[in-house]
Structure 1
Amino acid sequence: MTDLRIGIVGVGMMGADHAERVARRTAGARLVAVCDPDAERAKALADALGGVRPIGDPLELIGDVEVDAVILASPGFAHAEQLFACLEHGKPVLCEKPLTMDAASSLRVVEAEHKVGRSLIQVGFMRRFDPEYAALKQLLDSGELGRTLLLHNVHRNKSVPATFRSEMIVRDSLVHEVDVARWLFDAEITRITVHAPKPTSLGGEGVLDPQLAVFELANGAIADVEVFVNFQVGYEVRCEAVAERGSATIGLGSGVFTRAGSQWGGAMPADYRVRFEAAYDIEVQRWVDATRRGEIDGPSAWDGYAAAAVCEAGIASLGSGRPVDVDLADRRKVLG
C-alpha cells in the first residue's frame, strides 16, 4: 500500500508540530504540502523538512491532486470553508478543534458530510488517544467500579497570550473536557453552568480566569471542570472519575514521581505538546492507518458539533451566570 500523501493547512505551533510528526514519526504517511498565511514561515518549514511544497492558498492545497488527506491546524474561524472544500474534493481530514466557531455551522458540516455518504472528518480531541485516558475509559467501561457517577477535571495552563479572551477559555480550553465527559459517560451533555470567581490579576484585562463549569448529562451524571489558563506553574491536566465502588484518577504526575528529603513531587510539563505528545503521535498514526483503510478511527464530525453546541451554551452561561440548556439537534433525524 502506498503512503498517504498529507497536506497541512496552518503551520503555527500546532501545525508545525504535526508537520514534524508526519514527516518523521508517522508510518505509512508522507508530508507533501503545507500552507500558512505567513508564506515565509510555510516556506521555511517546507525547506527544513525537505520534499515538501509550500502552497499559498488553503483551498488550492485541499484540491491538489497530489494531496490525499488534509490536517487542518488553521484558526477555527477558517474551518467551515476548509471543511466544506475537503468534503467537495472527497479528502479525509483531521481537523483540530473547534470543528467550527458555532453550533449552527458545525451542524451544517455534519449534514454535508452525511450527504457525501461516508465519514471523512475526524476531530482532534486527542485526549481519547492518551494512554492514561484510554486506560481510564477501559476501566470505567469494564463495570469493575460500578456505574460512574461523577467526573472531576482540572485543566490549567502556565499562561496564555493577552489576546486569549474569556469566551476562548470555553471554546478552546474547556472544549476538551466537554469531549472527555461525553466520551467517558457515553452520553450527551444537556445543561452547562459556568461560574467565574474573582479573576486572577495575572491574566489579560477583563478576562474571566479561572472558570468553573458544571455539566449535567442525559444519563443523570454530573461533571465539573476547573479551567485556569494563567496558572503560572505549568501545564496540568487531571481527571478523577467517581463510581459506585471506587474512584480512579489520572494526571497526577509526569515522568518520575519522587519522595525524598521530606519532599514529594515530579516534573510538570511546560505545555500541552509535552503532556500529550504520545496522544498526538497515536492520534495521527491511527488517523493515517484508518484513512488508508477508507475509515475514521476517532471523534467524528458529530462529536465536534456536540462540543460546539455545549460551548455555545457555556459562553451564554458565562455571560448570565445561570444554567443554560444545550440546544442539540436530534442525531437520528440528522444522520438517519
Structure 2
Amino acid sequence: MGADHAERVAHRVSGARLVAVSDADAARAGDLAARFPGVRAVTDPLALVADDDVDAVVVASPGAAHEEQVLACLEAGKHVLCEKPLTMDGESSLRVVRAERAAGRPLVQLGFMRRFDPEYARLKAVLDSGRLGRMLLLHNTHRNKSVPDTFRSEMIVRDSLVHEVDVARFLFGEEITEVTVYSPAPTSAAAEGVVDPQVSVFRMQGGAVVTNEVFVTNQVGYEVRCEAVCERGSAMAGRPWADLYTTVAADDGEGLWGGGVPADFLGRFARAYDLELQAWADASRRGEVVGPTTWDGYAATVVCEAGMRSLTTGEPASVTLVDPGPAS
C-alpha cells in the first residue's frame, strides 16, 4: 500500500511532490526511493515526519505503528493521511482524537477510500437527495480471492469488515449501536481454525439493519458492492453487471454471460485512491481536512472491537463511543 501511494503521489497527484519514504525494512525503502529521482529513503519514520522538506505525510505502515506516527505528525503540525485502522484499539484511537483536538485544528484524514469511489459517492448523493425515501436496509458484500495463512479470523473483522463499518456510517450518517458476527461453516480454502466466510449484522442508531458478507478466500477475485434498500426503491454501488461484464463463448459452444473480476483492491479501487490522494493534497495545501476524520477512525475501531467480541461469543455486542471532550 505504501509503495502504491508513493507511485501515486509521484506521478498522479497534482500539486504534490514525493520527497522521502521510510520503511522498517531499510533495503525495501531504498529500493522504492531509487524508483523516483531525487527521493530519499529515511531509516527512522519519526525523522521523516520531522524533516523540514516534508509538509505532509502518508502513513501506510502496519496498524500497530499508527498511533506513534500520527501523534508525531500532530506534534509537528503536519497534515497526514492515515490508512485504516486509525489504531489497533479504541483506547489508543481516542488518544489520537483528543491529541488532534488539543492541537487546535484538524490535521488527519483516514484512508477509507470507498467514500471517494465514484459509485459510492453517487449512491451517497442519491440517498441524501431523498428521492428513494428513508433507507431501511443496507447489504454489503466484500470478497477477496485469497489472503495469507497468517490472516486470522479476528483480522477479517478488524482489517476487512472495517470498510463495511465505515460504509454503513457514511451512507446512513449515524452510528452503529450493535454488532453480531455469525460463523458459517468455513470454506475448505481457509487456513486451519479460520472462520471464513463471516456474516455480520449491524444495528444502526436509527433502527435500520445492515448485513455484511466478508469472504476473504473466495478463490475467484475481488468483489465489493453494496445495495441500499429504501422506502421507494433501491440503489447499488459496485454492481456486477457493469461494463466489464460481457457475453462470451465457452469451449463447449454454449454462450456464457460473465467477464473479468479484479484480482485485488488496487484494481477495484484505483480511481478511488487517486481521487482520495488528490483531495487530501488539495485540502492540505488549503490547511483543511476533507473526508473521514479521526472520529470516523475511532468509531470504526470501536465497532470492530465489538465485532471481535461477538465473533468469540456468538452473541450481539453493543457499541459504546466515548465523548472525547471539546477541542481546545
CA distance in 1: counterparts of 2:106 and 2:99, whole angstroms: 10
Q: Which residue is 1:303 aligned to?
A: 296
Does 1:178 pair with 2:170? no
Q: Which residue of 1 aligns with 2:230?
A: 243
How many residues of Structure 1 are paired with residues of Structure 2 in the alignment?
322
1:192-251 deviation line (CA, Å, top 9, x unaligned): 000111111211111111100100011111101000000100000010000000011121
Answer yes or no: is 1:33 the counterpart of 2:20.
Answer: yes
Paired residue for 2:245? 257
Q: Quick check: 1:196 aligned with 2:189?
A: no
Map 1:12-31 to 2 at 5 A: 14-31=1-18
Q: What amino acid is aligned across from residue 178 of structure 1 in structure 2?
A: V
For 1:82-109, what per-residue CA distance to the aligned partner results, in whole angstroms no more than 9, with x for missing partners?
Answer: 1111111011100000000000100010
Aligned mate of 1:272, from 239, 243, 265: 265
Q: Residue in 1 aligned with 2:148? A: 161
Aligned to 1:218: 205
- Whole-angstrom distance in 1 between the partners of 2:188 and 2:244: 33
| CA contact 1:157–1:231 (8 Å) conserved in 2 | yes
Report the residue type matching 1:256 in the other structure: L
Q: Does 1:49 align with 2:36?
A: yes
- Report what 2:252 is aligned to: none
Superposed CA deviations along residues 138-180 of structure 1, whole A, max 9, x for unmatched, are 0000000000100000000000000001111001000000000
Normalising by the residue count of structure 1, what TM-score does the alignment of the two structures yield? Answer: 0.94
Aligned to 1:11: none
SS in structure 2 at match of 1:270: coil
Give the TM-score, by structure 2 length: 0.96
Seq. identity, %: 65
- In the other structure, the counterpart of 1:3 is none
Aligned residues of 2:102 and 2:327 also touching (Cα < 8 A): no
Query: Within 5 Å, which residues of 2 pair with 1:127-138?
Result: 127-138=114-125
Structure 2: distance between partners of 1:272 and 1:39: 26
* Inter-partner Cα distance in structure 2 for 1:63 and 1:260: 55
Q: Find the counterpart in structure 2 of residue 313 from structure 1.
A: 306
Q: Deviations along 1:104-150, whole A, 9 cap, x unmatched?
A: 10001000100000000100000000000000000000000000100
| Bigger RCO of structures 1 and 2 (CA < 8 A, at least 6 apart) | 2
* Paired amino acid for 2:41: P
Query: How big is the shift at 1:334?
Result: 5.0
What displacement does 1:255 show? 4.5
* 8 Å contact kept, 2:182–2:199: yes
1:88 maps to 75
Secondary structure of the residue aligned to 1:132 is helix
- Structure 2: runs of 5 or more not aligned: 250-254
Are the equivalent residues in 1 in contact too, given 2:203–2:210 (CA < 8 A)?
A: yes
Distance 2:278 2:43 in 1: 27
Aligned pair in 2 of structure 1 residues 270, 260: CA closer, same or farther (>3 Å)?
A: closer
Aligned AA (2:244): V
Contact 1:145 1:246 (8 Å CA) reproduced: yes
Query: What's the counterpart of residue 319 of structure 2?
Result: 326
Aligned runs of 1:94-109 on 2, under 5 Å? 94-109=81-96
1 CA distance for matches of 2:92 and 2:225?
31
Structure 1 unaligned segments of length 5 or more: list them.
1-13
Contact 1:128-1:134 at 8 Å conserved across structures: yes
Alignment match, 1:282:
275
1: distance between equivalents of 2:29 and 2:289? 28
2:138 corresponds to: 151
Q: Which amino acid in 2 is paired with 1:135? A: R
Q: Is the 8 A contact 1:255 1:266 kept in 2?
A: no
**Cα-Cα RMSD:** 1.2
- What is the rounded CA distance, in whole Å, between the counterparts of 1:168 and 1:226 in structure 2? 14
Residues in 1 aligned to 2:236 and 2:248: alpha-carbon distance in whole angstroms: 23
